[in-house]
A = this chain, B = another copy of it.
């Protein structure tokens, strides 16, 4: 039922699952309650023991179902007398983390190539820069500014981190959390596949220079220029990822 197999075209396997395992049924029902809004965000679920008697299953089974929900970030669980399982507020960052793990796996399994990632990035980030230029506020610009100033006297490792902070921040101030959800995982995978050792000092300086120029365009509200600069910046970075025959 949940295995909609949406990826493939043909109906591949239609095994008549006699019955779902109990923990799956419990998880599914709770999940429906949560996503449908019947259990509002922040509300507390009954205790594990209560859930067990409600569903007519043991506490172990309930716990396995709860683990499933927790790993989808649908609930948060705490201990103690005021503890329990609470419906979690959806958080874009957590969703992005999840997606990042999945995408990394897809790349590793040859289901997707680094080129696919770069291509998607080229669709998203330049446009994110455009949006950022059009509607970033003071706070956002200040945050972005912090990632471009004083990069010269950083050791390579810190510089590496700051480099990615720039891209992350740029996307997040575009005002569309969905772009953040989609770009972060892509960048996370790319970051893991970058040969940072092979980047020469002049190359780092060039990158920093690009970032400064992009920042200025965004801060000045020049959407077209920001978009173009980011596109060229990414194209220039492309060779750093490509040589990864492991």
Complex Cα distance, B110 from A49, in Å, reads 32
A182 and B184 within 8 A (CB):
no
- Further contacts, 8 of them, CB under 8 A, given A6-B184, A7-B168, A64-B67: A1-B76, A7-B169, A7-B172, A9-B146, A35-B101, A64-B64, A65-B67, A123-B124
B123 and A23 within 8 A (CB):
no
Chain B contacts for A85, CB-based, 8 A: none
Instruction: Say if the beta carbon of A194 comes within 8 Å of chain B.
Output: no
Taking residues whose C-beta sits less than 8 angstroms from the other chain, chain A's interface range is 35 or more
Instruction: Say if the beta carbon of A53 comes within 8 Å of chain B.
Output: no
Indicate which residue in B93, B104, B116, B120 contacts A8 across the interface (CB closer than 8 Å). Answer: B93
Complex Cα distance, B90 from A147, in Å, reads 35
Which residues of A approach B to under 8 Å, CB–CB? Answer: 1-9, 23, 27, 31, 34-35, 37, 41, 60, 63-65, 67-74, 76, 88-99, 101-106, 108-109, 111-112, 116-117, 119-120, 123-124, 127, 131, 143, 146-147, 165, 168-169, 172, 176-182, 184, 186
Chain B contacts for A35, CB-based, 8 A: 101, 104-105, 108
Complex Cα distance, B94 from A182, in Å, reads 16
